[in-house]
Amino acid sequence: MARCTIGIDLGGTNIKAGIVDRAGVLLGRTSIPTEARQGFEHVFGRLVGLIETLPGELGVQRRDIAAVGIGTPGPMSHKEGIIYGAPNLPGWVNIPLRDRLSTAIGLPVTLDNDANAAAFGEFTAGAGRDVSDMVMLTLGTGIGGGIVVAGRLLRGFFDNAAEIGHTIMVPDGRPCPCGQRGCFERYASANAVAERLVEAIGAGERSSLGPRVQAGGRITSRDVCTAAQAGDELARRIWDETCRYLAIGCVNVQHMVNPELIVLGGGLIGAGAALLEPVRHHFGQLVWNVSRDAPHIEFATLGDDAGVIGAAALAALDHGGQS
């Protein structure tokens, strides 16, 4: 009996969905606009519709679907199946999504946060598929984290573990929307790279990107990387500092959780070797000399599919499906 699970990556802009078979292979995927502004009931309806039509669309029998897994942004509880709030999903406050969705579609549902789902996707089918202990850092707007210990997600007592982007890296450092100061993600997310460059230019530092910033143009981490490679001194300094902060984050992950592998994912890894090589270099320089056992640092391999595959794999783990 071939049993599959549906994985869903619920974002503020798009809802991505796919079906994964018992061997963990993604059979196909699709994506629809979230239309988040129209509020919870509207998005919920789209979610139900997507789950109902997806099997037919991908040539899978409805009876072969064992369960649905969803990765969601923002504070939530896996244990309770509740979304407490989601910055990009207006009206999603204290929503018992797991049980409501399960009732609506007649299938068991597993809920987890999107960073955990992406980490579990890389663990089952991507960069981590040959290891048992892995930590993933997703470098995007912020820094999402996911920790896999002996093949299982470390969720923590309050379901808030692996919020690695909010570990404090610089005491009394840059303010974070979370209410803390000096969070790791204020120094090493894709957004932080661009923000720090814009701030430095605003403070009078010279850069080839200066005119664009002064004209109000939008700067991305990719612009900073490109300018750094073209020899822009300010961009080079900020890019290198970013890689060094990432390496410090990896040192801290090593000492706290001690995985075999640290996987870097998210938009920032588009920079390729310009990111990975300095991160590895700084890590080697910064980490202790007490033990030579250290995690490998690698890039994620599943790209945008990690969240869908991971959500499906988590549903399979909780409710049967892939073996």
CB of 141 to its own copies, least distance (A): 15
Q: Which residues pair with 28 in a beta bridge?
A: 19
The DSSP element (H or E) to which 190 belongs, if any, is helix 190-202
Handedness of CA 80, 258, 260, 185 (dihedral sign): positive
**DSSP E strand stretches across the chain:** 4-10, 14-20, 26-33, 65-72, 76-77, 82-83, 109-113, 134-139, 143-149, 152-153, 261-265, 296-299
In the bound state with its own copies, the residue whose beta carbon lies nearer, of 41 and 293, is 293
Q: How far apart are CA 60 and CA 170, in angstroms?
A: 50
Binder among 1, 33, 41, 158 for its own copies (CB under 8 A): 158
Q: How far is the CB of 210 from its own copies (least distance, A)?
A: 27
Mark the segment that binds its own copies (CB under 8 A) among 36-44, 117-125, 179-187, 271-279: 179-187
d(CA 236, CA 227): 7
For position 163 contacting its own copies by CB under 8 A, the verdict is yes
The residue count of the chain comes to: 323
Which listed residue (21, 122, 159, 298) binds its own copies by CB under 8 A? 159
The CB-of-163 to its own copies minimum distance in angstroms stands at: 4
Tokens standing for 249? Answer: 């984050």
Q: Is-contact 75 159, C-beta < 8 A?
A: no
The 10 Å Cβ neighbour count of residue 114 is: 24
Cβ contact 92:86 at 8 Å:
yes
Size of interface with its own copies, in residues (CB under 8 A)? 51
Among 168, 174, 222, 237, binds its own copies (CB under 8 A): 168
Q: Which is nearer to its own copies, 112 or 163 (CB)?
A: 163
Contact 169, 248 (CB under 8 A): yes
Can you tell me which of 3, 32, 64, 75 binds its own copies, judged by CB under 8 A? 75
If one asks whether residue 26 binds its own copies (CB under 8 A), the answer comes out as: no
Q: Give the integer Cα–Cα distance in Å for 77 and 94.
A: 10
Contact between 48 and its own copies per CB under 8 A: no
Query: Nearest distance from residue 108's CB to its own copies, in Å?
Result: 22
> Any contact of residue 274 with its own copies (CB under 8 A)?
no
Owner of token pair 């999107």? 114
Q: 134 and 261 in contact (C-beta within 8 Å)?
A: yes
Contact between 260 and its own copies (CB under 8 A)? yes
In the bound state with its own copies, the residue whose beta carbon lies nearer, of 56 and 288, is: 288
Contact pick of 16, 29, 78, 155 for its own copies (by CB under 8 A): 155
Q: Does 82 bind its own copies (CB under 8 A)?
A: no
Q: Is 230 in the site for its own copies (CB under 8 A)?
A: no
Least Cβ distance, residue 248 to its own copies (angstroms): 5
Q: Which residue's CB is nearer to its own copies, number 24 or number 145? A: 145
- Which parts of this chain interact with its own copies (CB under 8 A)? 75, 84, 131-133, 147, 149, 154-164, 166-171, 176, 178-181, 244-245, 248, 251-260, 286-291, 293-295
